[in-house]
Each structure stands twice: as C-alpha cells, then as structure tokens.
C-alpha cells in the first residue's frame, strides 16, 4: 500500500488510474479521487500528486 493522500487514504494506484483516465490537473485528480481535499488542504500531498500527473500523462 502506497498512500499518497494520508488525510483521505488515497493510494498511488488510484491516482495513477485517474490520471490515465483523463485527470490531467491537480484539480481533476481531486474531483476524481478526493485526494488533496482533506483537513491539511493538500499541504502534504499536492507535490506528490503533481509528480504522478507528470509521470503518467
């Protein structure tokens, strides 16, 4: 298990799948997965999510 968003419990595989299905911005990943919408307001995971978007476009 590779958690990217600790607040919402969203794993790397879920984010990568969303990116491959068209979530090509941070905001679209938020909408598709809930990642980055927790109490830290993406303070901990935004950079990781943005890196996954770049790696998996």
Taking the C-alpha atoms of residue 34 and residue 3, their distance in angstroms, rounded to an integer, is 13
Q: Is the pTM of this model over 0.85?
A: yes
Domains of the chain as residue ranges with CATH: 3-56 (1.10.10.1100)
Taking the C-alpha atoms of residue 44 and residue 57, their distance in angstroms, rounded to an integer, is 22
Three-state SS string over the chain comes to CCEEECCCCEEHHHHHHHHHCCCCCHHHHHHHHCCCCCCCCCCCCHHHHHHHHHHHC
Give the pLDDT confidence score for residue 11 in this predicted structure.
98
pLDDT in tens, the chain (57 residues): 799 999 999 999 999 999 999 999 999 999 999 999 999 988 999 999 999 999 998
């Amino acid at each position: 298990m590779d958690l990217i968003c600790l607040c919402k419990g969203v794993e790397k595989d879920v984010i990568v799948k969303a990116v491959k299905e068209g979530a090509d911005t941070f905001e679209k990943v938020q909408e598709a997965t809930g990642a980055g919408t927790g109490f830290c307001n993406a303070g901990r995971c935004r950079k990781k999510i943005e890196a996954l978007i770049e790696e998996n476009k």
